[in-house]
Structure 1
């Protein structure tokens, strides 16, 4: 199988155009006899965003090399289609069972690429189906993917493509991920039917806006469930793609003067846009704070420290974002006795390159007791303004007290 692969495998290099030297490398593979090839979006993102500064070239596993043209991208699925100056070349085909979602778990798979610029390599692993509790469809592949293999094919024993190498999980062993082949096939069909995207930078903005609108629609449609935390009821999303954890300061040294028990739910829905910009994460956290030996003024100072309303995460501030603006006020979400008065801080910043998208942080502190309080935080990356307002309102209205 591997002996027949070299004419179909590629190393794709991003070069600084004026210097002619590589700045990053990845892998790719031919999917048609007229030189169309698949790779990852993150392998070619510099050229997509700054085509006057960077250019692409390929080096084939069979020793061939030449120029590469970027035709189209699928940012949410981290894919790109490129064209090479090759004609009548052998190419990979997609596996039908994988396309139909009918591949059994435990199937042996073989990943190919150029790890760490060491030369083309084949890695054996196991198909484990789609990752559970994930917003983005990714295949769990128990094989060793390494930097440089991104964009290469993972194939069956018959040599048909099941997925595209995309990532590995740091902190784990043989935990890697593939983009399902059906997304590459869909992008390839779009290129053949429509031709190259007219303006890739504008196309990236359009795709980000559409994918984020779909993400937050799912979030809004499924709503919140109520979860107890001390004498309060807190909103927790019902979507399946948030991972929730808890922590406490009960065993801290020196002994804390206030008890702080926190729950945090974080999404895995982040999108790679550029090497210095990842967007799309969602986070909900709640901290129940109760004094041990702090007086009311000291507790108020602690709560102020815990409730700083700044937007977190993202990329380089000046390059990608407008300045952050915050507004703080006291709000009463309803007249009902189970709705505590709140001190709320709303912070937002806009994306310079992508119209209509904002990063938002909403922090609320309950104002119903002098010895304990709930600090709740909602962080939303790359969200439309109307969706942010709707989610923020629903979040505040879901905060309750059962004391």
Structure 2
């Protein structure tokens, strides 16, 4: 884009020779300074014109593209998303999940763009940020001028998201900035507009027409999320790597993030709560929410069960069958005044059967390997079991399942379960130790 002409100087030399002295009377200087001050005040007070959705759409429709993932065998699209010109004239920014099929199977899929006028062409993947669901793709020829990016406006301000919903054509959705979500580790902004499939990777504008975010996901009607542009700006400085190295890069990104994320939990101050006769850690991070999960008591039950369930909302998308970064932990207390010890033990044993929640299949992960020990924790003896399995395509990432069940009581039981997906094994182990240190028996 052509740069605007420089403002003419307020004081013109009265000589055609550079460096010649300017002779003016003192009152003239005062008048000129007052004039300059008035001009500056007028410029500063000039209102910024807010654009409506139509103006934003018309200004930017040529800079927003469809991104297609094409099956090489059929020549047909397998999935679609959106992207926009960013950083360089030949670059499009989009979401990682839009191009994830290509990353998983580059021999089977290819990437192509489609412009608003129907023009299309091939794309190359040049950089990814799997943690924040971002990617950069590149074409052979320039698309045009990159869009201007900036920081999100204040909470409550108008936002406008552009994209290609359900492959129905380019459109724009209006909404408001709901603020940064602490549950997502400062990497998501709540957007009140409606984002539909196909709009992922498109730009989100403020009312000045500046890109302030990237469309990423939706939870339900009018509950959507965008990624702040600061993460995209960091990605633009990333080293371009060949396609065969992307999984290695993704593994490194996730491991480094998980180490920082879990260490932040370990170093933090945790609230505690009481579950009957056990004091336990509460929400161990602002990204974690805890809820009562106790079943509704029934008169015919011969025992009582109390439960607290906690989880984070910080999932990282890898593929249709893999989401990593999940943390789920629960505390279960069970007691009975009526069951004989043998019947209580059988019930307790049946409840101590934690299952790892995951859509991963045998092509994604290895089999769990487990180890069991008896340890003293918080004044009680516990049977602990830790199970781990590695990721076949992302070596260095692991799923961990940990369980600790209190033993030595005839009619009371306490179980602590913790699941972590796609994490660093060492960092996860340190978190487990810190959480176990927070268990305390209440006499």
TM-score normalized by the length of structure 2: 0.83
Distance 1:278 1:33, change over 3 A: closer
- Report what 1:210 is aligned to: 256
- 1:281-296 aligned within 5 A: 281-296=326-341
Mapping of residues 1-400 of structure 1, within 5 Å: 1-32=56-87, 34-87=89-142, 89-95=144-150, 97-98=151-152, 103-170=153-220, 173-190=221-238, 194-196=239-241, 199-222=245-268, 224-252=270-298, 255-310=300-355, 312-333=356-377, 338-400=378-440
Q: Are 1:327 and 1:346, in contact at CA under 8 Å, matched by a contact in 2?
A: yes
Structure 1 gaps of 5+ residues are: none
SS at match of 1:77: coil
CA–CA distance in 1 between the matches of 2:393 and 2:88?
A: 37
Contact 1:6 1:62 in 2 (8 A): no
User: 1:276·1:316 contact (CA, 8 Å) conserved in 2?
Assistant: yes
SS of 1:133's equivalent in the other structure is helix
The unaligned stretches of length 5 or more in structure 2 are 1-55
Q: CA deviation at 1:292?
A: 4.6
Question: SS of 2:222's equivalent?
Answer: coil
Distance 1:249 1:309, change over 3 A: closer
SS in structure 2 of the partner of residue 317 of structure 1 = coil
Q: In the TM superposition, what whole-angstrom CA distance separates every residue of 1:292-338 from its partner, at most 9, and x where no partner exists?
A: 5322111111211211144x1334231111111222332224xxxx5
RMSD (Å) for aligned C-alpha atoms: 1.9
Are the counterparts in 1 of residues 85 and 143 from structure 2 also a CA contact under 8 Å? no
Checking the alignment, whether the CA contact within 8 Å between 1:249 and 1:259 is kept in structure 2 is no
Q: Which moved more, 1:299-308 or 1:194-203?
A: 194-203
Q: Based on CA coordinates, which of the two structures has the bigger radius of gyration?
A: 2
CA drift at 1:26: 0.6
The structural deviation recorded for 1:88 is 5.9
Tell me the SS of whatever aligns to 1:211.
helix
Question: Relative to structure 2, which stretch is displaced further, 124-133 or 276-285?
Answer: 124-133
- Distance, in Å, in 2 between the alignment partners of 1:46 and 1:9 is 21
3-state SS of paired residue (2:194): coil
Alpha-carbon distance between aligned partners in 1 of 2:116 and 2:343, rounded to the nearest angstrom: 66
1:315 and 1:248 map into 2 onto residues whose CA distance is 26
Work out whether residues 223 and 237 of structure 1, in 8 Å CA contact, stay in contact via their aligned partners in 2. no
Q: Is the contact between residue 340 and residue 399 of structure 1 (CA under 8 Å) also seen in structure 2?
A: no
The alpha carbon displacement at 1:202 in A equals 1.5
Q: CA deviation at 1:282?
A: 0.7
**Could you tell me whether the CA contact under 8 Å between 2:325 and 2:420 is conserved in 1?**
yes
CA distance in 2, matches of 1:238, 1:87: 47
Aligned residues: 387
Deviation of 1:389 after TM superposition, in Å, equals: 2.7
